[in-house]
Amino acid sequence: MSKGIGKEFMEKTKHRYLEDSDQVKGLPQPPLELEWNENMVLIDLPAVEKLEMKNMDLRKAIETRKSLRKYGDTPLTIEEISYLLWCTQGVKQVVSRPSTIRTVPSAGARHAFETFLLINNVEGIRPGLYRYIALSHKLMEVTTEVEIAQRVTTACHEQEFILNSAVTFIWTAVVSRMKWRYGERGYRYIHLDAGHICQNLYLTAESIDSGVCAIGSFDDDDINELLGLDGEKQFVVYAATLGKRIHDK
């Protein structure tokens, strides 16, 4: 592999190298959300408009935010999970393009991301791997096999704080959503969008007395296989652990 692959990527995704996108060619755009199985176990999340969360000054949230790798034993509530998912990928409106207007920005409102959750310690939800169905604001159970948390930890180069988190967010990109409009340059925008999502998680966590640690180190092939992804059309881009803060007694 060329030692300059990163430099080559930045060069070859400049506008002057781009061919007409599928949008320019008049091809239909990809669906706003991946298909999901209604026969799977589905969890209706509490309605966002009914959630009563503590208000927090934005400046304070920004100033107190830091990456935390140690968490308390206090479980998250399902209301808090609903709130975190809404603030990171919540759909506010579906407009006529069609596209989704969400709680985070995305290049061209393409919103290429799907959210998986490794749940370890949430009241009323069995530990396991789940997928967020954003358009319906539901969780779909993927697997509750006993070893799933350890398998995710192993795929993330044995970062043990995953096992101690209340929940780990895993964000996967459906490339076609972004490439439909932007072609190869869309890969740049996917990684920018991931930062928007994770920063919202950091700031939202502050308002529920929790901390986050972003994870960019993982074995791409292992984590993609674990989630049932092909690694080309859809792949893991980013992850983040979250749990309650530990307070001195």
Angle at 208 between CA 206 and CA 211, to 5 degrees: 50
Choose which CATH entry (3.40.109.10, 3.40.50.720, 3.40.50.620, 1.20.1740.10) describes domain 26-244.
Answer: 3.40.109.10
User: How much is the mean pLDDT over the chain?
Assistant: 96
Residue 169 has which token pair? 């967010």
> What is the structure's pLDDT at 1?
54
Q: Where are the domains of the chain?
A: 26-244
pLDDT tens per residue across span 183-232: 999 999 999 999 999 999 999 999 999 999 999 999 999 999 999 999 99
Specify the DSSP class assigned to residue 152: H
CB neighbour class for 154 (10 Å; exposed up to 12, middle 13-18, buried from 19) = middle
User: Which are the contacts of 29, defined by CB distance < 8 A and separation ≥ 6?
Assistant: 22, 23, 98, 177, 180, 181
> What is the structure's pLDDT at 2?
61
Nearest Cα to Cα of residue 231 among 218, 240, 248: 218
